Amino acid sequence: MELRDALLRRGASSSNQVHNLVRWEQRLTLLERERDRGAVVAIGATHYSPSAFGELARVMRTGRISAIQIPYNPHERDVEREILPLAQELGLGVRRHAPVRRRRRRWPGDPSRASSSRCARSGSRRGARRS
């Protein structure tokens, strides 16, 4: 605990994660170097999709991370089968994110953002040319 506090006072990040497991082998190598030089205290991995939990379990078994972040809420309980028991077995920290709403993320400029009620209220159709 004292080492962690000293590192944080020096400006070290308390934790860094490999998000969505993209190129996780290379990213773990980079984060391990940062940890070894004192810039990072803990290394974790995260993924939002149950379809990637097999790969997340593989990362967990490497012994190269100390924590995971997973989706866990009353509607998303897939982690209970393998990921949570494995984290307990390996002594990994678990951080959960719990998005309860299952809405598709919408970005500015995304044509699917227009709702029919909004278009109806404005009296126009999205993309329609006015004469």
- 122, two tokens: 């404005």
Q: What average pLDDT score do residues 71-99 get? A: 92
Q: Which residue has the tokens 């044509």?
A: 111
CATH class assigned to 2-101: alpha beta
Do the Cβ atoms of 70 and 79 come closer than 8 Å?
yes
What is the predicted pLDDT for the residue at 98? 77
pTM attached to this predicted model: 0.65
* Number of continuous H segments (helices) and E segments (strands) in the chain: 5, 4
Residue percentage of the chain with pLDDT more than 70: 61
